[in-house]
Chain A
Amino acid sequence: MTAIIWKEIRENLKWAVLWLVVVGLFAAVTVQKQESQNWQGFESVCAPMFLAVMTFGSAAGGLLLGLLQSLLEARRGQWAFLVHRPLPRSQIFLAKALGGLALYVPAMGIPLLGAALWAATPGHIPAPFDWRMILPSITAIVTGVVFYFAGLLTGLRPARWYGSRGLGIGAAAACALLTYAVPEFWQSLLVALVGIVVLGAAAWGSFLAGGECQPQPRVTRFALGVSLLAGLLMVGFAVVLVVLGCWNESGYVWSYYRIAKDGQILRVTQRDAVLTSVTDVNGNELEKYRDPRVRDSLYRFTLPLATLLPDPAYLTVRYSDSRRFFMRLDNSRQVHWYYVFAGGRIRGYALDTRRCIGSLGPDGFVPVGQPASQRFVDGPAGWWWTYAGVLADANAVYRPDLFTQEVRRLFTTADNARVLGVGALMSPSPADDHRIRAIAIVTRDRVELRTPDGTLLFSLAQPFDIDKYCQLQVGALDEDRYVLWYRPSQVAQSLARWTLPGYVLEVSADGREVQRTELPPLDIANPEPWYTGLWAAFVPLAAAIAEVAWASLLSAFGDVQGAVLFADLRRELTTSPPPFLVASFSALAVSIVVCTLLALLIARRYAFSRRARNWWAVLSVLGGPAAVLLLVALRDWPAREACPACRQKRVVDREECEHCGAAFPAPATDGTEIFER
């Protein structure tokens, strides 16, 4: 077996080295082009361009290597030279795959390791580095192995290039998309590993049977079926995207609330990018906003709000986002400041030397190399997209001055209550240089507003259940009036079937609630046209059943996301217009009937056994058009000949006629045959 591994390595080494050089060059260029990217969360090896290089480099590298290893040897003589040797064919495949992977992993791993070492070395990138930042690239490399097996499978199967041959690549693409759809590294890795197992088994089976389907072991035939089905669904998905793109659906209408600077609640309706109407809460059009020019500059009339608590649904940070490890607070020209979660301190990086200059903590600035004595505990509390000059840890609020490199503790919460969120209300006047006018903090029980030096302005008991109303924004109408805007979370809203209202509370400077306005939930007024329901004809029934079953299962186990999914599905069913629902269900039903009949007809042409025909019928009911296409993709279209006994067409791969049981006739003779007497 080692001889084959050696042969594969020796044979494809030049391609691997070439790929290593290409990927290495791109990785080197992209990891160094960091200065131009001021995007939060995409530093160093998490930069989008670098990840693109690793993702596409891995996919293309794996695919090309797999294709090279299989296509070049699929020619008759080469194939025979490879497989006609005293080794089980599985071992030959294993050796081939090990040889390929022994080239692929270094070709992608060395550029990654080089880039990571470079980024981790002080003096290169003015940002913190955490080794976990290479996890997305590791996922990309592991996903590249899925493409490698897809390449092997594609090279081994003798199907038509414009037919089902490339479906393995589609399956790998589907797997890659799934790895990007999940938030955690282990989930991505699991998805990629499943892809490796399925496509690896499919490639193995195809190798055993010289690319054909029928002679394969049952388990690899199943893997091949799954791979081709995934590829078909991926192709279908791509076609739908293209068609929808050409469709150019416009006229999407939705409504939302805004608070005007005078405290009036506005209900804004928008069609695509154009504001079409601005009304009050009750739907009465407001004269002031009739003029489209005024509507277009609505932001000038709306109140700036500080977000204390955003919707938790938006707070999921994927493992490929460097905000898992640190957050950039400031982009000054000289120093970049980052809150580093692991150290609980704010670290500064000089742009000229690209090195850390020191860190800020509750104990102030500590130059690099000196031990820091204090850290922010469990900070920063809450979340913010932009840093507004205040920072809270578990139960204290600080005002770090990044320019003077000082940290001032403003106050601690009463009874050491845990801070859930903090926000700064800025002065609207340019004359004030947009200084902080007040600081708002929210704990589980109270909302407090304080002056910038920490003096309490008011403290209000939470008027709503903070678990349900966990979106909170604060704004200042004038010196004496403030507004608190509570909105239910999407989860709570889904569970309540989108019936929960929002509330805007006007509060005086002494903490008295002056006015409370209820904001009814807004429907997204976009009834689906009936004909869009026809898409249901292409949706596998199994997918719909699986979604409902998954949601029910999760709900049954008390999972909130499952309950939300279930509630949303129910809402979709109950609020969709009847013509759309009728079109959807009719299209689905017709599709099931047509697909099942087609599958039965094709299975009959293949002369499948009754059991196999029934299986394919069931699969067609569940899989729809994809299952029918799978049936055709798995096997060659059957050759048939007229049976001399019953005159009916019979398949040629059975010893007896499926109609009359007659054997095939002996070859025709003309008396010239010479056989031994």
Chain B
Amino acid sequence: MSENVIEMRSLTRYFGRKRAVYALDLGVPHGCVFGFLGRNGSGKTTAIRMLLGLLEPTRGSASLLGHDSRRLPPEVRARVGYLAEGHHVPGWMRVRECGRFQGRFYPQWNEDVFQGILKYFRLDPNSRAKDLSRGERAGLCLALILAPEPEVLVLDDPALGLDPVARRALLESMVYVTRHASRTIFFSSHFVGDVERVADRIAILDDGQLRACCTMEEFRSRVRRIVLRFPSRPPELPAIPGLLTSLRTERELALTIANYNGQTEELVSQLGAEHIEQVPIDLEDTFISYLDRRGERTFFLQGAGGAP
């Protein structure tokens, strides 16, 4: 068995002629909290559904706990907790019934964990699922997938649609769960702050393609923002490898560059700036630079003061 709990190899999926996920290669090691980032429609949910065998890949393969996703045996599914996007539970079920229903499938069902999470989210066991708020329903779903004490948690955008308080509660629960050393968590999100708080490693999916996959530290260290100040109008930019975005103002050029290295540094220094400064960049800005459209932006308006 591979040391990776989750593996995707050239995983590809088309819907008709539309390419949703393309040649995705990914490995999630044991015990890792893995953040799977991407914009809406970038293919995160599709990849997760293929990983869990809910959707057939067009090409490539995925494995979970060493088993091919297409044929996950029941005993492997019992070790994997999955929280689907939208937090679906049958609306007619009461909170208590949900627990009883779910518990019948898992011999290792831990009622204390279930009750603990219900208590944490202040859920009334007699409420019907359809009467719960989104945050409460997310809490219920989390309780349902945590009570069987799974080895792997796959969470598909668990904070989607939640208010900040509910998101924080959900996050705290997740942080609590990560204390369990042997547990692997693979979760998708587009809330970078949430990811930053809990993830060890991240992957970024853009338009179905993997753009980044590394530890948080490495990601932070390899994206830089350079601000160049010029005595006059900044010159036209040459091709700079790894350039994500550039923001042009009257006398300044702010460049966000991935994989900043000596070669890039030399190219930047040749631009003739009177002052070059590296400014700190947080994960959210990095993420936005990464997934935003490429190219230059400018605040110059045609004919406005200072414009040529």
A contact residues vs B (CB 8 Å cutoff): 2-3, 6-7, 10-11, 75-81, 83-88, 209-210, 212, 214-215, 636-637, 639, 652-655, 664, 666-668, 670-677
The 3 tightest CB contacts between A and B, nearest first, are: A77-B88, A86-B78, A77-B84
Name the residue of chain B whose CB is nearest to the CB of A209: B56
How far in angstroms is the closest Cβ of chain A from B285?
A: 15
| Contact, CB under 8 Å: B16 / A674 | no
Among A6, A636, A652, A672, chain B packs the most CB atoms within 10 A around the CB of A672
- Contact between chains at B78 and A77 (CB < 8 Å): no
Question: B42 contacts which chain A residues (CB < 8 A)?
Answer: none
Chain A CB within 8 A of B278 CB = no
Q: Is B101 an interface residue (CB 8 A)?
A: yes
> Is the CB–CB distance between A673 and B258 below 8 Å?
yes
Residue from the list A83, A87, A652, A674 in contact with B223, Cβ < 8 A: A674
Which B residues lie at the A interface, using CB under 8 A?
A: 10, 12, 14, 16-17, 19, 22-23, 45, 49, 52, 54-56, 58-59, 70, 74-75, 77-78, 80, 82, 84-90, 92, 101, 104-106, 209-215, 218-219, 222-223, 241-244, 258-259, 290, 294
Q: How far is the CA of A147 from the CA of B63 in the complex (A)?
A: 38
B212 touches A674 (CB 8 A): yes
Contact A3–B213 (Cβ < 8 Å): no
Chain A residues, CB < 8 A from B209: 667-668
Closest to A91 in B: B74
User: Which of A77, A81, A672 lies in contact with B258, CB distance below 8 A?
Assistant: A672
Shortest CB distance B198–A (Å): 19
Q: Give every chain B residue within 8 A of A83 (Cβ-Cβ).
A: 54
Chain B hits for A86, CB < 8 A: 74-75, 77-78, 105-106
Q: With a CB–CB cut-off of 8 A, which chain A residues contact B59?
A: 652-655, 664
For the complex formed, measure the closest distance between the CB of B203 and the CB atoms of chain A, giving whole angstroms.
Answer: 10
Within the assembled complex, what's the spacing in Å between the Cα atoms of A186 and B210? 61
- Assuming the A-B contacts A77-B85, A86-B74, A653-B58, are A673 and B212 also in contact, with contact meaning beta carbons closer than 8 angstroms in the complex? yes
* Interface contact B258-A84, CB-CB below 8 Å: no
| Cβ 8 A contact of B259, one of A11, A77, A671 | A671
- Given A78-B90, A84-B52, 6 new contacts (CB under 8 A): A77-B87, A80-B49, A81-B89, A84-B54, A637-B16, A674-B222
Q: With the chains together, A79 CA to B223 CA distance in Å? A: 40
Residues of A within 8 A of B215 (CB): 676
Whether the Cβ atoms of A664 and B23 lie closer than 8 Å is yes
Instruction: With both chains docked as a complex, state the minimum distance between the C-beta of A665 and any C-beta of chain B, in angstroms.
Output: 8
From B14, B84, B219, B223, contact of A76 by CB (8 A): B84
State whether B211 touches A672 (Cβ < 8 A): yes
Known: A667-B209, A673-B258. A79 touches B22 (CB 8 A): no
B214, A674: Cβ atoms closer than 8 Å: yes
Q: What is the CB-to-nearest-CB distance from B122 to chain A, in angstroms, rounded to a whole number?
A: 23
> Is there contact, CB below 8 Å, between A210 and B92?
no
Q: In the bound complex, do residue A210 and residue B105 qualify as a contact, i.e. CB atoms below 8 Å apart? A: no
Is the pair A667, B75 in contact by a Cβ cutoff of 8 Å? no
Q: Are A652 and B16 in contact (CB under 8 A)?
A: no
Contacts of B211 in A (CB 8 A): 672-674
Q: For B14, what are the chain A residues with a Cβ–Cβ distance below 8 Å?
A: 639, 652-653
* Cross-chain pairs A/B with CB under 8 angstroms, 12 sampled: A75-B88, A77-B88, A84-B54, A210-B54, A664-B10, A667-B23, A670-B294, A672-B211, A673-B210, A674-B214, A675-B214, A676-B215
A376 to B1, CA, bound (A): 83
* A-chain residues with CB within 8 Å of residue B222 when the two chains form the complex: 674
A655 to B61 Cα, complex, angstroms: 11
- Closest B residue by C-beta to A75: B88
Q: Which of A210, A637, A674 has the most CB of B within 10 A?
A: A674
What distance in Å separates the Cβ of A69 from its nearest Cβ neighbour in chain B?
12
- Would B88 and A80 count as touching, CB distance under 8 A? yes
Measured between C-beta atoms, what is the minimum distance from A99 to chain B in Å? 13
Q: A80-B54, A84-B54, A653-B59 are in contact. Are A666 and B49 (CB under 8 A)?
A: no
Residue pair A671, B258 in contact (C-beta under 8 Å): yes
Q: For residue B86, which residues in chain A have a CB less than 8 angstroms away from its CB?
A: 76-77
- Min CB gap A163→B, angstroms: 13
In the complex, A664→B290 CA distance in Å? Answer: 25
Which of chain A's residues has its CB closest to B290's CB? A672
- Residue contact B259 to A210, C-beta cutoff 8 Å: no
A652 to B218, CA, bound (A): 34
Q: Which residues of B contact A11 (CB under 8 A)?
A: 90, 92
In the complex, A672 Cα to B82 Cα: how many Å? 32
- Chain B residues contacting A676 (CB-CB under 8 Å) are 213-215, 218
